[in-house]
Structure 1
């Protein structure tokens, strides 16, 4: 590689790294406990522990549970209803208005077969929710999400440029060399490059899936303004329903439309998931992969009759499939442990990058490039 090319790649690596490193450190540190979110909730006793229903038991009518949830939180309206995948629990999220943000929602939990209220902390309380908000949008809503998405793209560019620079670095060194007998800075330089190149694939996967996850709101908005409008006839002057049809019948309609699937959650009109006039019954499959990908079924909210089964866009499928990949949540605890180890390595790579930059600020660009091309040392 020519000196000019190394100089160009060095500039790309330097400035993209400097722009995103602090925010990536924040994401890596906050992401570490989120990897074990389920395990932490279990240890903290914040997950409901219920026994399996007796043979032949039938679930409680969903409208009964909705009435109980509204009685539990007077002045609020139901926004989402859903089922725990690993326990016979139905949750109802409520808020004063249809556009209530998650941070202000109330949650009621019920035994799906007895209808008894299940005591559990609110999902939007506590340290784990604080960490989640810090990780996803830094408490800045959509602008915060998009900003972190931009940092993720810069991180991908920094990673790729680091791979390009690694080749001239290795020109006079064996792969994996860490020169422990030399200066402390040189030892950290070798370690920074080795750990970076060894985890390149993971860094790109986690970084790019994180970028995809920040686009959830724009992707939903685009879907609703496109196919959803065509299917439901929204925007034709039809009044928003003031009296909603039975949710039990709406779910039954969805089950008949897609009998091979099972319902995961239901969105109420106006919540941003199914337009202003429809229930959105989001169905999932039974395999580990199909449980991560949703198929929406639209049901008229006034009559609880089937409207149609829209085509789920690939962009939203990619988003939902990328979420568990981002946190290593596809293969249980063993994969989570691997993800955590790699996350710690990423923290070391990012921290060592800051250390190397601070220790080399007084050197000229030409001298740094000469180190790469002539001495086989990357900066």
Structure 2
């Protein structure tokens, strides 16, 4: 009988290393989702920041302005489309834009059409958060799975550390690097736990809802038989809806609600209808919509309070997840608590790496990859903004291509300390360069309106990275290319 050859120790080391790299990849993706989500809280401000001089900013709306915009859109197409949509001015988006066919353009105060709405960098950031820049059908599901994973990590973390609440205010910054990381991880986990759990659960539900919708579409049986006869075309009307009457009716019916979107269905036809989607200040669900006929007569409510309790709860997830309630103060709170979640993610891996070293397991390669993941992500997000502003280069290849290049180098070269030191240095410099380049391109408009808050966020991030770089324990007496203990190489 032939005896099976026992695998050598090198085989097991390779399998263990591969297992660790897979775990590190999951942690890296979780970190990318957290960082991009923290910034994406300000995505409406980023819209304005990306095109600060494209149009005027005003909250004034009239039926005449809406009608003129719709007329110009129809004239531009040469025919009336099935649908025209208008983004209406709101407190965090004080601009009007119109979508028709494949076009999306800003609307001037007199209703004429201005420059195209073009915000590729903001779209990159938003899609990085909710789909990792993958096709939506796949990316949303993957991010939803990470929401489930984060929920499990939060719950299991509390169950695995029964004394975590007792030590909620223990922060031993004067002790070893590993104890600092452990205390920082545990304290932020406790203090921000309600927020982190809300983000995790809402993200998981939104992602899994996408998975369910995708599965339903794939499992749906194809229709058979003869195709249905084409519907008879609606006769063309000579007039557009009475937008003045509609706007007046809505203002009287819901004086406190803020319209953020106006839809015109079958414009310039006998069957045309108008729908106003509005945010209610005393409700958390996404919106309450109201339908009107062409003469301004109220037809019905759509969604919002008219939906079921379950529908209202689902519609509330979006604003709850992205912090779009309560104005700028809530966004700033989400920024701070989102930063805490990023730190918890980074320190969790740092603690794991320190324990690997204590057990005499190989950690240098994994540690180098993690340092590049943490600091390279911040560097390349900022670099993508600089390259887009200065040269018009698409952000996706800058970010993901840069990560691949850094990963290939970090796999073989350098030390964890060197990677952390140099990437932190470049990260704060490039991040500080973003508002500088923005100012050089747009002048004083870079420090007005939504651009002001965004550039202040960039400066705050750069200042935080600079302070951390100066206060982090490094062996500054020697060049950072020399080896250092793992406890000093952590984030």
Answer whether TM exceeds 0.5 for this pair: yes
Of 74, 91, 97, 1:91 maps to 97
* Distance (Å, rounded) in 2 between the aligned partners of 1:69 and 1:269: 14
Q: Name the SS of the counterpart of 1:191 in structure 2.
A: helix
* Distance (Å, rounded) in 2 between the aligned partners of 1:244 and 1:166: 69
Instruction: Note if 1:28 corresponds to 2:34.
Output: yes
Q: Name the SS of the counterpart of 1:85 in structure 2.
A: coil
Instruction: Note if 1:265 corresponds to 2:228.
Output: no
Gaps of 5+ in 1: 1-13, 96-104, 222-234, 271-276, 365-379
* Distance (Å, rounded) in 1 between the aligned partners of 2:262 and 2:58: 25
Q: What are the superposed Cα offsets for residues 14-38 of structure 1, whole Å, 9 maximum, x if unpaired?
A: 9xx9785333311221123322334
Is residue 299–residue 307 contact of structure 1 (8 Å, CA) maintained in 2?
Answer: yes
Higher RCO (C-alpha under 8 Å, 6+ residues apart): 1
Of 189, 202, 208, 1:209 maps to 202
* Distance (Å, rounded) in 1 between the aligned partners of 2:53 and 2:331: 20
Cα distance change of structure 1 residues 315 and 76 upon mapping to structure 2, 3 Å threshold: farther
Is residue 284–residue 291 contact of structure 1 (8 Å, CA) maintained in 2?
Answer: no
Corresponding residue for residue 283 of structure 1: 277
Alignment of 1:1-379 (within 5 A): 21-44=27-50, 45=52, 48-50=55-57, 59-60=63-64, 62-72=66-76, 77=81, 78-86=83-91, 89-95=95-101, 105-111=102-108, 114-119=110-115, 121-123=116-118, 125-139=119-133, 140-168=135-163, 174-180=167-173, 182-214=175-207, 239=231, 241=233, 248-249=241-242, 260-261=253-254, 263-267=259-263, 281-284=275-278, 288-290=281-283, 293-298=286-291, 308-310=300-302, 311-361=306-356
Q: What are the superposed Cα offsets for residues 326-352 of structure 1, whole Å, 9 maximum, x if unpaired?
A: 233323333322221211111110011
* Distance (Å, rounded) in 2 between the aligned partners of 1:185 and 1:117: 59
Cα distance change of structure 1 residues 339 and 244 upon mapping to structure 2, 3 Å threshold: farther
Gaps of 5+ in 2: 1-19, 215-226, 360-491
Q: CA deviation at 1:68?
A: 1.0
Q: CA deviation at 1:284?
A: 2.3
Give TM-score, length-normalised by structure 1.
Answer: 0.64
Q: CA deviation at 1:118?
A: 3.8
Q: What are the superposed Cα offsets for residues 284-316 of structure 1, whole Å, 9 maximum, x if unpaired?
A: 26x533596423345689x99876445324444
Cα distance change of structure 1 residues 334 and 237 upon mapping to structure 2, 3 Å threshold: same
Is residue 143–residue 207 contact of structure 2 (8 Å, CA) maintained in 1?
Answer: yes
Cα distance change of structure 1 residues 322 and 239 upon mapping to structure 2, 3 Å threshold: same
Bigger helix share = 2
Q: CA deviation at 1:59?
A: 2.9
Larger Cα-atom Rg: 2
* Distance (Å, rounded) in 2 between the aligned partners of 1:240 and 1:201: 55
Q: Name the SS of the counterpart of 2:324 in structure 1.
A: coil
Q: Name the SS of the counterpart of 2:289 in structure 1.
A: strand
* Distance (Å, rounded) in 2 between the aligned partners of 1:247 and 1:350: 54
Q: CA deviation at 1:199?
A: 1.0
Q: What are the superposed Cα offsets for residues 220-253 of structure 1, whole Å, 9 maximum, x if unpaired?
A: 99xxxxxxxxxxxxx9978275667665258957
Q: CA deviation at 1:144?
A: 1.4
Is residue 84–residue 90 contact of structure 1 (8 Å, CA) maintained in 2?
Answer: yes
Q: Which moved more, 1:255-264 or 1:315-324?
A: 255-264
* Distance (Å, rounded) in 1 between the aligned partners of 2:236 and 2:315: 29
* Distance (Å, rounded) in 2 between the aligned partners of 1:88 and 1:200: 34
Q: CA deviation at 1:203?
A: 0.4
Is residue 107–residue 113 contact of structure 2 (8 Å, CA) maintained in 1?
Answer: yes
Q: Name the SS of the counterpart of 1:248 in structure 2.
A: coil
